[in-house]
Structure 1
Amino acid sequence: MPSLMNRDELRSALENAIQGKSANKSPFSLAWAEGSLSREHLARWAENHYHYVGPFADYLAYLYARTPDHMTEAKDFLLANMYEEEIGGDRHTDLLIRFAEACGTTRERVTDPDNMSPTTRALQSWCYAVAMREDPVVAVAGLVVGLESQVPSIYRKQTPTLREKYGFSDEEVEFFDLHIVSDEIHGERGYQ
């Protein structure tokens, strides 16, 4: 039986697993950063992204409930993350809807699960499955390190384009500015 990795070995293994697979290298992310997408493309992205990030606090809640009581730092981190997603200032989903409306879609279209693509439905299902079934360490590695920690590098490339090329206001892109900062903190805490 192989031995367990220490903290530094686990972090290195997780960083290596993500390297080369980051979503910021996807054709869609690159097109966004170049400013070659239409507002309609961005609206469809927001309609789908809502159904991935909307239940993020739910994923964390399942994980929180399954985390052993002696892992108090981990539980505190999960609870703080849920708080920030749901009630710490503006709800993150409300900020995303504000951006979506600025792209030309409606709150109703964004929140309607029938507008979710099959790929987004699969991602949402995977997130729920990981949160409900995997060991809490594995779930944090997948949800927080694997997904949430990638967000700052993606949004750092996309947000300037939203302002400069598309002409969005600071208020309309607040969702992105917030996640550049908060998800960097969450991602780092996920490694811990």
Structure 2
Amino acid sequence: MTTLSEQLKEIVREHHLLSHPFYRAWSEGRLSKEILRRYAGQYFAQVSAFPRFVSAVHSRCPEIDARKVLLQNLVDEELKGTDHPELWLRFAEGLGATREEVKSQALLPNTAAMVDTYFELTARDWTEGLCALFAYEWQVPEVSTSKIAGLKNFYGVDDDRTLSFFKVHEHYDVEHSNQVAALIDRYAEPKTAERATREASRALWTFLDGIADASVVACQ
């Protein structure tokens, strides 16, 4: 029998980030460093907010076994080693951006909508928040591997400091997404879970639409 989390993976695959034109352009070496810097500045909004998404789900969760999983996820994001927003800033610096440029970049409408959608989803029932986390974290390991390959092969980026965000997420989010999947299978109601997963997946995809629109020549 197919589990609910396996069904949710099929929903995520409908808008899998690696099939988006922007990420295809990345993996084929068709983006400029300027475009990558713009992307880094925009996506920092999601990276810096993500621990708060996890925290929001944790605070709404009545089940102690699930809270323990979410707490460990949060510890990995903010306390274990270097916090992940800091790793992202190092990535941006490796592309030639300054921290001030990243933190002060005006958000595109689709970027703001993505972050707002995640705040909204994680403020609902805790199982909907789980599905939002799953829609993101299940894709991250594969996306990270692809990004590392593209950065090394086409953009002259191969130092550990710049790539550390992606190297960490190649591994951490395999465990995170598996743990969240188990919680979804145990606690989530299917129709609600499917709706939340679609909302989260579309928000992530639409974010890339905004970046691609700003880079229309490269992403044709």
1:162 aligns with 2:151: yes
Which residues of 2 match residues 103-114 of structure 1 at below 5 A?
A: 103-112=95-104, 114=105
The one-letter code of the counterpart of 2:79 is I
Which residues of 2 match residues 115-134 of structure 1 at below 5 A?
A: 115-133=106-124
Runs of 4+, deviation exceeding 2 Å: none
CA distance in 2, matches of 1:40, 1:138: 36
Could you tell me whether the CA contact under 8 Å between 1:152 and 1:184 is conserved in 2? Answer: yes
The one-letter code of the counterpart of 2:25 is A
Tell me by how many angstroms 1:50 deviates: 0.7
CA distance in 2, matches of 1:44, 1:97: 13
Instruction: Name 1:149's counterpart in structure 2.
Output: 138
Percent identity reads 30
Instruction: Name 2:197's counterpart in structure 1.
Output: none
Which of 171, 179, 203 is equivalent to 1:181? 171
CA distance in 2, matches of 1:158, 1:57: 22
Which residues of 2 match residues 29-178 of structure 1 at below 5 A?
A: 29-68=23-62, 71-112=63-104, 114-133=105-124, 135-143=125-133, 145-168=134-157, 169-178=159-168
Tell me by how many angstroms 1:147 deviates: 1.1
Normalising by structure 2, what TM-score? 0.78
Could you tell me whether the CA contact under 8 Å between 2:122 and 2:128 is conserved in 1? Answer: no
CA distance in 2, matches of 1:104, 1:175: 16
Instruction: Name 1:14's counterpart in structure 2.
Output: 8
1:27 aligns with 2:21: yes
Please identify, of 11-20 and 72-81, the stretch whose mean Cα deviation from structure 2 is larger.
11-20
The one-letter code of the counterpart of 1:153 is E
> Mind listing any 5+ residue stretches in structure 1 that lack a counterpart?
1-5
SS at match of 2:156: coil
Tell me by how many angstroms 1:172 deviates: 1.0
> Mind listing any 5+ residue stretches in structure 2 that lack a counterpart?
183-220
Number of aligned residue pairs: give it.
181
Normalising by structure 1, what TM-score? 0.89
The one-letter code of the counterpart of 1:40 is E
Could you tell me whether the CA contact under 8 Å between 2:47 and 2:88 is conserved in 1? Answer: no
CA distance in 2, matches of 1:21, 1:164: 25
Could you tell me whether the CA contact under 8 Å between 2:121 and 2:132 is conserved in 1? Answer: yes
- Report Cα offsets for 1:51-72 as digits up to 9, x if no partner: 011011111111111100xx22
- Relative contact order higher in (CA < 8 Å, ≥ 6 apart): 2
Tell me by how many angstroms 1:111 deviates: 1.4
Tell me by how many angstroms 1:12 deviates: 2.6
- Report Cα offsets for 1:27-49 as digits up to 9, x if no partner: 01001111111111111111011
Could you tell me whether the CA contact under 8 Å between 2:42 and 2:108 is conserved in 1? Answer: yes
CA distance in 2, matches of 1:171, 1:151: 19
